[in-house]
Chain A
């Protein structure tokens, strides 16, 4: 199944992460036969469950959420899906929204419904247990975290200017890839929030990792969250001598009774 990749031609990649191998791995994984079968089963309209809410944290260009929104019928077997995004970079909030609106344009009467992209830290402003499908392409590169004390200043156009500075753009891009020690500092903060935001019965999360993130250890830690918690690799790319460069984890809770 080849589904179209949303257009991001309006996005300024000087300060917003440009879709790359990791983004495309998420698209391929979500639309793979095995994942869409899992998702269709979990969210089938026949079980008369309410429209699933898809939340992506760190939408960047918006390509992943736009793809999910535009191909909801193929991925979930239903088109009445809600999409919501967050990003720490306010420029990404505007550009990502535009990508999703463009991908849905002309089909509003029968397509999925896009809510908004809000400017925030991870999922801190999301109502507890309201998310059915969570997607996260984290800043996973083992590199020093940027200095957040500059964030307020760099998160908007400089007063009296209509363009960003080079330093500002570098800072904003760093936010999209730098993950601190093992590339896991931001991802670990996000993983901590996942049990609190996912729907208790049907919530499922997709989180991308790179080999330096020690994915086997991450999966083990998730399985230790408590009875029923599962983590499996459901997509991978860049296989070299048995090592996947990138992989997508599916995190969900089995019914334990």
Chain B
């Protein structure tokens, strides 16, 4: 299960929904795996406003991943912005018949892609910060089914 998925999940217990502590769910005893996928730069740029950055930082640090910056990156931070690229972009504009040079993802974009979409929880638990209920993750699938008495 991808870490970006955790941006959209919360504790399944009804009474937890109103508690801020039920989001994000906290990974515990997690076995991670990297599943490589192609970097999708337009998507990464657009998803920024949907990211609960503070919570994603918390999850990354709880998983022992490298620290994320304290503030979320901007769209500009995700694009390589060296002089060479700038120059070739300008050249492209001059010869307007040519297609524009493709934007090059920056290291920040690569790091974000790695964390959100390539770092997956293979096995482990997700724990609610409010009620401490543990949801199992097995073979990449998180199980949010509750025992009868909690529904």
Contact = CB atoms under 8 A, between A and B. Distances in A.
The finding on whether chains A and B are genuine partners in a shared complex, rather than unrelated, reads yes
The range of chain B's interface size is 35 or more
Residue among A79, A97, A109 having the largest count of chain B Cβ atoms under 10 Å: A109
B1 A127 contact: no
B140 interface: yes
Contact of A116 (B5, B17, B50): B5
A118 B2 contact: no
A126 B143 contact: no
Given A113-B117, A121-B151, A128 B43 contact: no
Contacts of B38: 108-109
Contact of A90 (B11, B41, B141, B151): B141
B76 to A, nearest CB: 15
Interface residues of A, number: 39
Given A51-B46, A108-B38, A115-B5, A124 B117 contact: no
A53 interface: yes
Interface in B1-51: 1-2, 4-5, 7-12, 14, 17, 23, 37-43, 46-50
A125 B128 CA distance: 11
Interface in A61-86: 79-80, 82, 84, 86
A115 B145 CA distance: 19
B141 A109 contact: no
B139 interface: yes
Q: Which 6 A-B pairs have the closest CB atoms?
A: A120-B144, A108-B38, A125-B144, A109-B38, A124-B12, A125-B12
Interface of A: 45, 50-51, 53, 79-80, 82, 84, 86, 88, 90, 93-94, 97, 108-113, 115-121, 124-128, 130, 148-149, 151-152, 155, 196
28 contacts: A50-B49, A51-B43, A51-B47, A53-B50, A82-B47, A84-B8, A90-B143, A108-B37, A109-B39, A112-B43, A115-B5, A115-B8, A116-B1, A116-B2, A116-B5, A116-B141, A118-B1, A118-B141, A120-B144, A121-B144, A121-B145, A124-B146, A125-B12, A126-B8, A127-B23, A151-B145, A155-B145, A196-B17
Interface of B: 1-2, 4-5, 7-12, 14, 17, 23, 37-43, 46-50, 117, 135, 139-146, 148, 151
